Chain A
Amino acid sequence: MTALRPSRAAGLGPMLIVALIAAALYWPLMLAANVGPAGRTLASGAELECRTALACASQLRNPVVPAPAQLAQGFMRLSTPVTSPLALPYNVGVTAGETLLGLLLATVTGIGLALLLVASRAFERATLPWLVASQTVPVVAIAPMLAVLLGQYGVQGFLPKAIIAAYIAFFPIAVGMSRGLRSADPLHLDLMRTYHASSAQTYRLLRFPASLPHLFTALKVAVTSALVGSIVAEISTISFSGLGKMLAENSRASDTVALWVIMGYGAVLGVTLVALVNALERWVTPWSRR
C-alpha cells in the first residue's frame, strides 16, 4: 500500500508529471473513442450543429468519453445546488459516512477478533477457515440478503450499508492486527518477562504499540474495501441516497457524463479517506521516522 501513502512536497513533482501526461493524452483519446459513434449519429441524419465526425466527437449527448467541457457542465449540473439531497456533495457525504462508520465497526470487530486469534490457537483453528470463507462470498450477492435480514429488525437506510462495508473491511484488519500482535520483538518479550510483567501489561505496553504499523497498513486496505462495500451496497439494495444510488440511476438513464462525474467524486473520496488514515497514523505514531 506504499503507493497510496501521499508523501510530502518531494513526492508531489512526479505525481504532477503523471497528471500532465494524462491531461495531454485525454483529448486525443477522447476523440478516438467518440469518433465512431459520432459518425454513426451523423449518418443517421440527426439534427446536429457539427458537420464532420471529428467535430461531433466532442459534442455527443451520451459520449463514450466526455469532452472536458461536457465534464465541466456535468460537474456543475450534478454539484448544484450544493445543499440539495439530489446533488453530489450531499450524496458523497452519505457514502463517506457509511464508509467511515463501516470502517469503525470493522476496526472494533477486527481488533477484537485479532485478540481472540492471538490468545487461542484453538479459536484460530476453529474460526479462521470460516472467516476466509466469509470473504469469498461476493459482496454483491450478500448485500441484498443482509439488507432484507436487517430490515426484518427495523435496521434500514444508512446502517445496513455501513454493516455491509464492515463485512468486507473487518477481514484485512483482523489479519493485519493478529500479525501485528505477534510481531513484538522477542527481546522486548524477554525484557517484560524480567520485569515480571502481567499478560495485560505486556499487551498494553508492548504488543499493542508494536502492532500499530501493521494495523495502519491493514486500515489503508480496509478503508478502500469499505468504500467499495458501501457503494456496492447502495447499488444492490434499495437506496435513496449515496454515490451508488446515483450510479444506478444514471446508468439506467445511460447518462455517461453523469457517470464520469460520479466516478470522479468517488475517486476523490477514496483518496481523501486514505489520506485521512495516513493523517491518523502520523498523529498516533509520532515516533515514526517518516
Chain B
Amino acid sequence: MTYTNPSPQTGPAQPSPPPNEPPIVSIRDLQKIFPVPGGETVALKDANLSIQRGEFISLIGPSGCGKTTLLRLMADLEQPTGGGLLIAGRPADEARRERQYGYVFQAPALMEWRTVLKNVLLPLEVMNVPGDRLARAREMLKLVGLEKFERNYPWQLSGGMQQRVSIARALAFDPPLLFMDEPFGALDEITREHLNLELLRLWRETGKTVIFVTHSIPEAVFLSTRVVVMTARPGRIEGVVDINLPHPRSDDTREDPRFFTLATEIRELLKKGHA
C-alpha cells in the first residue's frame, strides 16, 4: 500500500491512516455469476482487494469487466455468488443498513418533483437524521458550490450541476464511504476536468474513502491514490497501480512526466488482459 509522501513544495498530502487500522473495504475471492439464457456470465471472478480509510480508489476497465458489479456488490445492491466482503468491518448488507456509504450513480438520478435543496434533504428525511437538516443540506450545497440554486428544479440545471447535486446528496448524511459509478461519464471533457478538481477538493476536505468507477485512464490517474485495473471475460482484477503523484493536484499534475508513465502502465495492464 503506497501513499503519496507529503512534500513541502506541494502542500499537505492526504493523512495516512494509522498502520494497524483494519481496512475499510476488504474483499476476498469475490465472485459474481449472472445466469443468462443458455448458460451463465462470470461478471466477476476471484477478486481480492483491500482498501484503507481515506484512500481514493479508481476501478478502471472496459465495459463488461465487472467494475460496476464490484461496486454494486460492495453497496449490497447485488449479492455475491462466492467469496466474501467486509465493508467498515461488517457484512455488506449490515453496512448498507447502517448507512456506511453514499452512492453516486452514472446518471444524477435526482427526483424531478423535488427542488435541488429537497433532493439533498431526501436521505436526511429517510434516515430521520436528528438536528437541523435544512442547515445540513444547505451546507452540502455550498460545498459543491450550488447554494444559489436550492429553489431550482433539477431540469433547470446543466448535467454537470445535476451531478454535483447528486454528490451533495450522497455526502449529506456524512457516510465514511463514497461509491461513485462513472459519475462524470456522460459529461463533456471540460466539465469533467473541472468536476475532477472539485471532487479532489471534496475528498481532501471531508476525508472520505472514495471508490470511483471510470473508463477514462487520465481521470483515474488524476484522481486516485491507487487504480484497480480490471479486464473482461471473465471480469477480474488484472493489477493495482499506486499513483504516487503529489497532492494537492492541479491542472499542472496532468503535465507531470510521472502522469504519463502511470497512464502508460495502466494502458499496458489493460492490453495484457485483452490479449
Contact = CB atoms under 8 A, between A and B. Distances in A.
Contacts of A194: 75, 77, 96, 101-103
A252 interface: no
B75 A212 contact: no
B111 interface: yes
Contacts of B105: 187, 190-191
Nearest to B102: A194
Interface stretch (A97-105, A195-203, A239-247): A195-203
Contacts of B155: 287, 289
Contact of B125 (A185, A205, A209, A212): A205
A212 B113 contact: yes
A209 B111 contact: yes
Given A194-B75, A194-B103, A287-B155, 9 more contacts: A194-B77, A194-B102, A195-B99, A196-B97, A196-B99, A205-B111, A209-B111, A285-B113, A287-B153
A188 interface: yes
Interface residues of A, number: 20
B111 A190 contact: no
B122 interface: yes
30 contacts: A187-B107, A190-B77, A190-B105, A191-B105, A191-B109, A193-B96, A194-B75, A194-B77, A194-B96, A194-B103, A195-B99, A195-B122, A195-B127, A196-B126, A196-B127, A197-B126, A201-B126, A205-B111, A205-B125, A205-B126, A206-B111, A209-B111, A209-B113, A210-B113, A212-B113, A287-B112, A287-B114, A287-B115, A287-B153, A287-B155
Interface residues of B, number: 23
Contacts of A289: 155
B61 interface: no
Interface in B76-114: 77, 96-97, 99, 101-103, 105, 107, 109, 111-114
Contacts of A287: 112-115, 153, 155
Nearest to A198: B126
B80 to A, nearest CB: 16
CB-CB nearest 5 A-B residue pairs:
A187-B109, A195-B126, A209-B113, A194-B103, A287-B153
A210 B114 CA distance: 11
Interface in A162-194: 185, 187-188, 190-194
B235 interface: no
Contacts of A188: 109, 111
Contacts of A185: 109
Contacts of A193: 77, 96
A196 B175 CA distance: 13
A189 to B, nearest CB: 10
Interface string B114-128: 110000001101110
B125 A190 contact: no
Interface string A209-223: 110100000000000
Nearest to B107: A187
A209 B122 CA distance: 13
Nearest to B154: A287
A193 B123 CA distance: 11
